[in-house]
Structure 1
Amino acid sequence: MLGNMEISVGVASGMIAIAVTIVTLIVPNAMVLLLVAFLRDEHPAVTWSVVSRAFSSSLWPVILRSDQATSRGNPPLINFVTWLKPLTLFLISVAAIVTPMGLYEGLVLTKQMQPTTFMDLLDVTSMGYGTPPRSDLGFSRQCWGAYPVQCPGTNYVITMNETTASFDDEAFDRRIPTALVELYQSGLALQSRSVSSYFDIQARQYEYKDKYSPNGTSYLVDSFRPMGSRILDDSIYLIDGLIVNMEKGGVGFRKHTAPGGLTYGAQWDEDILFHEPETFCVNTNLTWETQVAVPTDNYTETLDDPDGYLVDQGGFYNINKTSPYLDDWFVDLQTQLLEHGDPSLEARAYRAGWWMNVLNMYYLNVTKPGTNRTAYMNSKLGQRFPANNSFGVEYKDKLTFSGFNGLITGIPSGFEYSNGTIAVSNSSYDDLYWSNPFNMTTNNWTDVAPTCTAAMSGDFANNTNLDVRCGLLLGPAKRVDGSTNSIVEPGSWWTRPIYSCASATKVSIKSVRFIYNSSNTNTLDSIKVLSITDKTYPNETSLPIWGVETPNMKLRDLDPFYGLIAPEKQNSINLTTIRSPHMYVPASSATVWDLELSPNIPGTDFNPGVEGPPQIWSTVYGSTSSNMADYAGTTNLALLQKWLTLSSNTTSAAHITNLIWTDVAANYFTGTRSWLTPQDYMPPNLAKRQSDASGSTSSDVNDVVPVQVYVRRLQYHWVYGIPAFLVLVLTIVIVTAAGIATISGRGSIARLRHFMWSLSPGRMFAAFLFPQEGDLYSPTNPWVDRVGRRNVRIVDEGSQVKGMPLSQVQYSQLNQKEPAQQVTIASTTAFEPGEVGYDRQRA
C-alpha cells in the first residue's frame, strides 16, 4: 500500500522493473565515464580493443553522435539491422516494465468438484426471528366442508344422516397415513437430495387446536402473520426456508445450508422445488375515466354526480360476436391440460372478460340479450358511460383488483334460490343513469368467475380441476392527454386500464446456482443466488412423474395431496399421474371456499402445500391484502410509479399479480428440506409413527456435497502482455532470419570472426604500427603475446608531435626496448579500396 492507495502485485513488479531499467541505463554509461577517467594515452593494443567494446556497448556513441552511431553513408540494410538492435532492446525494456503489471492475485474456482460437508445457516433478519421452530406434531388433515367426511386412507367411520354427521372423537385421527406420505414423496429417490416434497412445504406460522381430536390432543393448523414486504426489491434473496425470486416471481423451498471449513468460499448447483405464480391478462378494451372537479362558488357535489365513466375503447363496439361457448371451451381446456400441460390461462381470462363485457352491455342497453343481441349497438369508440362506484378521483392513484361485477354499481342485487326463484333487491342507484330494460341483477354476473376458474365446490378433486383465480386488474390512473404530469389539476381527466386476469401456481424443479463467501459468518448474508434456470432433461423418460390425489371426493371436502411419484407406484389407488417438467397446484377446498389469509383467522388443518397457493391468490385478488402491505401504492409513491409502468400492457400487468403473490408467499411459506435431511425423511406425527422420534427412517445423514471451491491463484490481465508478445514475435523473426543466414553461409561463424578481428581497434593499430608482427587474423592468444601487450599511444585532441598536426599524426608506438623518452612516430595514410597501394592484409 502506498499511502492510502492499494498497490497490486503486478503494479509493484512493474515499478520494480522501471527502477531496474533506469539503473541498467545509468550504471553502464556511468561506468564508461569512470573507465575514461582511468585511461591514459598509452595502453597495450589489446586494451584499446577492450575499451572500444565498452564504448560501443554504451549509449555514448548515440549521445555524442559519433560515427559509430551515424546512418549517413551506410547501405540501407546495414542501417536497418544496426538500428533494429536498439529498437528491440527498447521494446524489451518496455515489455519488462509493462508485462508484470498484468499480474494480480485473485480467487478462482476449481474445475474439479470437491466433496464438502455442509452446515446450517441462520436467518438473523426479522423473518428469521419471527419464524418459530418446527413442531413435532407435523401435518394434520381435516376433510369436510359443510359436513365431516372420512379422509382418504383413514379408518375412522363418519355416520351421516340428512342434516348432521356423527363420529367418535376418540377415533377421529388427523394424522397423515404413512402410506400416503410414502407415495407422494416416493419420486424423491430419483431426484437430488436438495429437492423438496409436498411434506417439506410448511406454513411459516402455525397454531395449536384440540377440537375433534382423541382425548383433546393438540394438532397443528396453519396461520398467517405478515413480517415484512419487499415488493420493491427486484432481486433474488434468501430468507428462512425460502429462495424468493422477485425478478420473475416464485419461491423455492430450501432450508439453507452451505459448505463449512472453507478458506474462501465455493459455488455449486442444486435442484430446488419451486412454486411459481403464472398469470395471463387480456385487455377488456374498456377504460375507467374520471375528472378532477372544477370548484365553483355554487358547486355542491350530490349523489347524482357520477364518480367516473366506463369508456368504450372497442370492448363494446368491436366485441367479438362469436361466443366462446362454455361446453366446447371446457373440452378444449381439458385437452390442452391433459395433452400439453397447458392450463389455458389466457383463454380463461378472455372468456371471463368477454362475458363480463356482454353483461355490462345488456345492463347499459348497448345491445340486447338473446339470439338477436346484435340487432343494435348503442355505443361508439370513446363513448363514456357514467357509473357510480368506488373508482372515483380520490382513489385514482392506486392499483385495484375487482370482481367482474365491480365496474358498475347500482345494479339490483339478485339471489337465486335452489328452487330457481330469484330475489331482487333494488338499489338506490338503480335508475340514476340507466333504465335497465332487461332487468339485469347481480345474479347474472355470478357465473363469470366460475367460467374462468372452471372448478366449483361440487366438482371432483383431480388433476384437471386446477386452483385458478380470476379477476379484474385496474392500473393506477394516467392523464388522458398522455402527459406525464402527475399533478392533480382541476378539470384534468384521468384514465385507468382494465384487464381481465387468470392466475395459477406452477410446480417445477429448477436449477439454482449458489455462491458462498466463507469470510462472512454462518448467516444468510454469506450465501447468494447467482441464477435460477429451468431444469433440463435429456429425454422424455427422465422427466419427473407428478401425481395428484383423486379419491372420488368433492372439492369442498378435500385438499388433495400431490407430489413426485416413483415409476413403480404410478398405478396406486386414488392417484392420477402425468410425466412432465411441471404441474399445476390442483383445486382444493381453499379454492372453492375462496379463503383468504388473515392474521385473525387460523386454518382448520396443516396442509400448506395445497392450501397455501389458493389462499394467497384470494388475498391478491381480494380486498384484505391491506392486512399484508400497501400493495395498492396509496402510501408508497415508488410502488405507485412501478405499478404505473407495469400496467401499461397486459404482459407486465400480469407480472404485477405475480410479484404480489410472491411477496405474500414469502411471508406464508417456509421450507424444511436441506442437504442435512435424509433422502427417505418422513414427516413427524404420522398415523403410524416411525421408530425414529424425528420422523426419519435413516440415521445416516450424508451431508457431503460436491462443490467448486474458490482458491487463491495468480491471475493475469492479458492486455499487459502485448509488448511481451511483440518481443516474442520479433525474437522469432530475428532468430529465424539469423538461422537462415547461418545455414546459407552468409552469417557463418567464420565471417563473423573475420569482420570482428578486422574491426578490432587493437588489431588495426598493431597491423599499422607493427606490420611484420601485427597480423590481423592470427588467433587471439598468439596475437596478444606478440603485439597485443605493446603500448600504443592515442594523441590528445589538438596535440602536435614533432611539429606534425593531429590530422597527420594519430597513433604512435612506444618501443619497449628503447628508453621511454624515445618514441617512434608513425603516421597513417588512408586508402580507398581498389586504389593502387591498397592491401587487404595491411589496410
Structure 2
Amino acid sequence: MLTVGQVSGLIAAASIVVQYILPLALVVILINYVGSQNNAVTWSIVNRTISTTIWPHLLRADSVNDRYSSRPVRVISWAMTITALLLVPSSVLAPLGLSEEIVPTGPQRVKFAYAQDTSSWGRVTMRRPELAFGRLCETGLNINCPGQYQGVYMNETSEGVWESVSTDDDSTINSTIPLNYTNMFYSATSNPGNTVSGLFDIQYRRWHLDRLDLYDKGATYAQGDFRFIENLIPQEAILLKEGLIIDMTDTPGIGFRNHTVPVGLEFGATWSEDLTWIEPVTQCVDTNLSIEVNFAKGADSFITNHTYFIVDRGAWIDLDMDELETRPWNDNQTLDLFGRAYKAARMSNVLAAASLNISLPLDSSAETLPKIEISEDMAFDNPTLFSYLDLDTLVIHELAGFEGTLDEFSISNTSDIAVNHEPSYPDGYVKLLALNYTAVTNICRGYYYLDDTHLDMRANNISYPAVDCGFILGPGVLMSEENFSPDTYTGRSTYQRKMYVCSTGMRASIKTVDFYYNETSTQLSSLEVSRIAEKTYPDDASKPLWAVEHSYERRMWFDPLWGLVNDSYETMEGFYTQRSGHLWLPMSPHLVLGFGEVEGIGTLAAASSFIRHLSNLYGGVSIGERDYSGKFEYSMVERIRPLFENETAASQVPSLIMTDGLAASLVGTKTSLSDSGAPWPASLAADSPANGFPQQLRVSPNTRVIRYDIHFAIPGLILLGIFAFALAWAITILVLYPVILRTFQNTYNQTSAGRLAASLLKNGSANANRPTCQWVEDDGKLRISFGHIDRTESDYFCRVVGTAPDAEP
C-alpha cells in the first residue's frame, strides 16, 4: 500500500512532467501557426515563449551556447541550469520522506467495555450458573473434602464394599468451599482492578447440572463439561478467544482474561496487563531409534509389500542393564523435565534391547547396529508403531515397547538385574528398579515407591509437581535418495519416523501482556497482543506467594487446591507455600486414576482440569477423544512435521496438544473492571460490570503524527542553500545599486527580438529607451518578415513589410 509521502512524490513527479512537456507541446503548436511574418510585438512574444521552455536546450540553440560568452554569463547560466535540474529530484524526493504513524501518547485512565467473541468460541461458552463453587473429593470414597467435616464416613461392609454412613440427620457431603479457604484464595487477586486470575476466576467453559442425595442433602450442583471446538495448532499465532489468550507459537500456553477493550478512542490504544498464565512445558529426548517402512510394488502384481525396520542411530551406546536402577526424583519445584525424559529414554532403550534380544553392553567397537527387521507378526500386533496406512501422521502414546503384545513386556524377576537388586543405595536412599515400561513411566512421574498396583503412594504437597511421560513418533519422512519423477520411479520407497521420549509438566506464572487496540467500538477481532513476557520483580520479596494444599502424611485422594495468596496466609494450616516467580502445578491421584474425563468433579476447574488433560496427553483412556494425528487434517501434519527435526523443536508437540485442549475446556472470568471478590459462598455467576473505568489500568491512547526522513530532503536542502545564497546576493545588489532595476528593464526590452529587429531595420532612428507602451504603439506595429524561417528561403534575412493595421492595442 502506498504511503501519503509516496503518493505526494508521484503527484510531484507527474506535475514536473506536465510542467516541462506541456510547454514543449504548446510551442510546437505555436510554431506551426506563427508563420514568418508578424509584427514586432508578436516576434518578442514568440521569442519569450520559446525561451521559457527547454526547446533551446533540446535544439542546442544560440541562447544556450556559452562559447565566447563572458564569464559572469557562463557562471550564472550554468547555475540556473543546475538549479533547474536539481529542482526535479528535490520536488519528487522531498514528499517521499513524509510518513504518518499512529503512536501512543501518555498513560491515562479511559473507559473499558466488554468485548464479546462472536465466533464459535463465544457461542459455545455458556453463561455462569447461579450456583456456588463446589468441590468433591476422595475418588471412590464419598467423604468430605479437607476443611468440611459433616459427619459422613465410609464403612467397609464387606471386603471391597464400602458404604457411606451418616452420624446424624444433618450429616451430608458438603461441597461448599469453606469461608476461610474462599477468603484465602481471593486474598491476593480480589483488590479492585486486579487483572490476575485466582483459583475462582478460572472456570469451565461449559457445565452441566447434577443431583445426588448424598451431596449437599440432594441440592442441585454444577459440574464442568467439555467438548472440542477447533484445532488451533495449525494457526501458529497468538489468538484471542472468549476468556483466553492462547499462544500457539513455539511457547504454547494460555492466559486468563475476560476481554475488555477501551472505547471512545479515535485511533485505539496500547496498554499492558499482568495475567495468570499456564504453560504446558515439555522436554523431549531423542531415543536415537527410528521406525523405517519400505514399500515395494511389483511390476506384475497389484500387491505392495511392506517391510518394517528399527533403525539404530546410537540408541544403545554406553548402555547396560544397570541403567534400569535409579534414585527417585527429588527435583521438587526446580523440576528437571529434561533429566526425567533423558532417564526415561535410556531406560526405555534398555527394555527395547531386551525385547529385541540385544545383549547389553554392546561390543566396544560397535556404535550402531544394523537395521533390525520386524517380523510380520510383531508388526501386526503393534499397529501403533508399524503401519503403512497413516505413515504421515503423528503418534503420541504412553511408553511402550515394540512387541505390541497384550501383556506389557517385562524383564523377568529371575534376571540378573532383578536378583541382584538392592532396595537402597549405600547412603540409605531408596533404589528403584524399572523392569517394565509402566515402571519407567512412574519413575519419570516422580514416584518414590513401585509396586504391582502402580499407584502413587506419595502424600500430596508442593514438593511433588504433576509430570507425565510418554513417547511421540513423527510423521514419516521420505529418504533423500528417493525420487518420484515419472522417468526414475521404481515402485520402491523408504520412509523413516523418529521417536522421542518426553516428559510434561504444567507451570503457572504471572506474565505481562502488551495489548494493541485499533478500533473505537468493542470488537474483539481488533484487539491484538503485541508481546508476552515474564513479569519482572525487583527482588525476591516482591515475588508472588503460591499456596498448595497438602494431605499431611496420608496418601492423597483429592485434587489439591492451589493459587496465589497474600502474605497473611503464608503459614495457613493444611497448605504449603512458596514465594517464587512461578509454580509447577501439584500432583493429583487423577493423573493415573482418571478414565479419560477432562472436566473433573465439582466446579473448581483450576484444581481439576489441568491434571486431567495431562493424564490424557500420552494415551489416556478417552471416548471420542480429539484426533491430533493429522489423519483428517493435513494442516496439522504441515505444522508438526518440521518440529521432528530435533528434540528441542519436538518438545513443542505435546505442549501444543495440551494447550489446544485446555483452551477448549477453560475460560477466564476476570476482567480489568473486577472490583472485589464475591461474597461467600462464592458464586460462579459473580460477573464483572460490562463497562466502566478500571481502577488500576492506565492506557496510552494512540494519536496520529507526521514524521519526516531527512535523507529525502538532501537535494532540496542543496537547492535551498543555493536559493538562500542567490537571494542574499541579489538583495545586496538591489540595496547597493537601486538603479539596477532600470538597467534590468532596459536590457530586457532592448534585447527582445521584436524591438531589436525593428530598431536595426529603422537604422536606430527611434529612442531605444522608450517605454513599452510607446514602443508597442510605434515600432511594435511594424510587420517584420524573416526570409529564412520557412522551408522556401528568400533572398533576405529580415525586413519590414508594412504596418499591421489590425493590431490590437
Aligned to 2:506: 505
Change (3 A) 1:393 1:318: same
Aligned to 2:313: 313
Secondary structure in 1 matching 2:246: strand
1:350-385 deviations in Å (ceiling 9; x for gaps):
1112222223334444337xxxx7899999512516
Change (3 A) 1:494 1:70: closer
Change (3 A) 1:9 1:96: closer
Aligned to 1:282: 285
Aligned to 1:546: 546
Aligned to 2:147: 153
Please tell me the residue identity of whatever aligns with 2:611.
Answer: P
Q: Distance in 2 between matches of 1:32 and 1:374?
A: 102
Secondary structure in 1 matching 2:182: helix
Question: Are positions 1:562 and 2:562 aligned together?
Answer: yes
Task: Say which of 227, 242, 245 aligns to 1:243.
Answer: 245
1:712-749 deviations in Å (ceiling 9; x for gaps):
x5757859x84x64133222144246647988x99954
The correspondence of residues 287-298 of structure 1 with structure 2, limited to 5 A, is: 287-292=290-295
User: Does 155-164 or 578-587 show the bigger shift?
Assistant: 155-164
Deviation of 1:618 (Å): 2.2
1:537-564 deviations in Å (ceiling 9; x for gaps):
4444443333322352646322222222
Secondary structure in 2 matching 1:188: coil
Question: Are positions 1:621 and 2:618 aligned together?
Answer: yes
Secondary structure in 1 matching 2:110: strand
1:583-602 deviations in Å (ceiling 9; x for gaps):
2211123224245336xxx6
Deviation of 1:132 (Å): 1.5
1:389-418 deviations in Å (ceiling 9; x for gaps):
3133345523223332332234866999xx
Question: Are positions 1:271 and 2:260 aligned together?
Answer: no
Change (3 A) 1:617 1:703: same
Secondary structure in 2 matching 1:633: coil
The correspondence of residues 408-807 of structure 1 with structure 2, limited to 5 A, is: 408-410=403-405, 444-455=436-447, 457-479=456-478, 483=482, 493-518=494-519, 522-552=522-552, 554=554, 556-597=556-597, 603-622=600-619, 624=621, 627-678=624-675, 680-682=676-678, 685-686=681-682, 695=686, 702-703=693-694, 706-710=698-702, 713=704, 715=706, 722=712, 725-736=714-725, 739=728, 749=737, 756=744, 759=747, 796=784
Q: Distance in 1 between matches of 2:492 and 2:29?
A: 90
Change (3 A) 1:125 1:145: same
Deviation of 1:276 (Å): 1.3
Deviation of 1:131 (Å): 2.0
**Unaligned regions of 5+ residues in structure 2, if any?**
1-5, 422-432, 448-454, 788-794, 801-809
Deviation of 1:517 (Å): 4.5
1:614-651 deviations in Å (ceiling 9; x for gaps):
21122221155672332122333443454433223212
Change (3 A) 1:150 1:748: same
The correspondence of residues 84-483 of structure 1 with structure 2, limited to 5 A, is: 84-92=79-87, 95-96=90-91, 99=94, 108-148=102-142, 150-159=144-153, 166-167=165-166, 170-188=171-189, 193-211=194-212, 212-248=214-250, 249-263=252-266, 265-292=268-295, 308-319=308-319, 323=323, 326-327=326-327, 330-331=329-330, 333-334=331-332, 337=333, 342-367=334-359, 381-384=369-372, 386=374, 388=378, 389-390=381-382, 391-394=385-388, 397=391, 398-410=393-405, 444-455=436-447, 457-479=456-478, 483=482
User: Does 448-457 or 537-546 show the bigger shift?
Assistant: 537-546
- Preserved contact between residue 252 and residue 273 of structure 1 (Cα < 8 Å): yes
Q: Distance in 2 between matches of 1:323 and 1:114?
A: 61
Q: Distance in 1 between matches of 2:274 and 2:189?
A: 11
Deviation of 1:611 (Å): 1.6
Deviation of 1:348 (Å): 0.6
Secondary structure in 2 matching 1:142: coil
- Preserved contact between residue 310 and residue 373 of structure 2 (Cα < 8 Å): yes
Aligned to 2:3: none
Change (3 A) 1:413 1:540: closer
Deviation of 1:500 (Å): 1.0
Please tell me the residue identity of whatever aligns with 1:503.
Answer: T
Change (3 A) 1:218 1:35: same
1:28-55 deviations in Å (ceiling 9; x for gaps):
99999999999966x9xxx999999999
Deviation of 1:59 (Å): 6.9
> How many residues are aligned here?
746
Deviation of 1:137 (Å): 1.7
Change (3 A) 1:17 1:269: farther
Change (3 A) 1:735 1:363: closer
Normalising by the residue count of structure 1, what TM-score does the alignment of the two structures yield? 0.72
Q: Distance in 2 between matches of 1:635 and 1:405?
A: 25
The correspondence of residues 6-25 of structure 1 with structure 2, limited to 5 A, is: none
Aligned to 1:827: none
- Preserved contact between residue 292 and residue 495 of structure 2 (Cα < 8 Å): yes
Q: Distance in 2 between matches of 1:486 and 1:38?
A: 82
- Preserved contact between residue 549 and residue 574 of structure 1 (Cα < 8 Å): yes
Secondary structure in 1 matching 2:207: strand
Deviation of 1:609 (Å): 1.1
Deviation of 1:174 (Å): 0.7
Secondary structure in 1 matching 2:109: strand
Please tell me the residue identity of whatever aligns with 2:183.
Answer: E
Deviation of 1:177 (Å): 1.9
Secondary structure in 2 matching 1:187: coil
Secondary structure in 2 matching 1:361: helix
- Preserved contact between residue 170 and residue 213 of structure 1 (Cα < 8 Å): no
Deviation of 1:605 (Å): 1.9
- Preserved contact between residue 288 and residue 311 of structure 1 (Cα < 8 Å): yes
Change (3 A) 1:595 1:376: farther
Secondary structure in 2 matching 1:645: helix
Deviation of 1:452 (Å): 0.5
Q: Distance in 1 between matches of 2:340 and 2:566?
A: 33
Change (3 A) 1:609 1:377: farther
**Unaligned regions of 5+ residues in structure 1, if any?**
1-6, 425-433, 777-782, 800-804, 811-843
Deviation of 1:77 (Å): 5.6
Change (3 A) 1:28 1:87: farther
Change (3 A) 1:489 1:161: farther
Secondary structure in 2 matching 1:576: strand
Aligned to 1:79: 74
Change (3 A) 1:207 1:540: same
- Preserved contact between residue 296 and residue 306 of structure 2 (Cα < 8 Å): no
Secondary structure in 2 matching 1:606: coil
1:88-121 deviations in Å (ceiling 9; x for gaps):
24543665566557768x6723423453322222
Q: CA RMSD for the aligned pairs? A: 5.5
Change (3 A) 1:408 1:672: same
- Preserved contact between residue 10 and residue 92 of structure 2 (Cα < 8 Å): no
Normalising by the residue count of structure 2, what TM-score does the alignment of the two structures yield? 0.75
Q: Give the percent of matched residue pairs that are identical in Structure 1 and Structure 2.
A: 24
Q: Distance in 2 between matches of 1:789 and 1:796?
A: 14
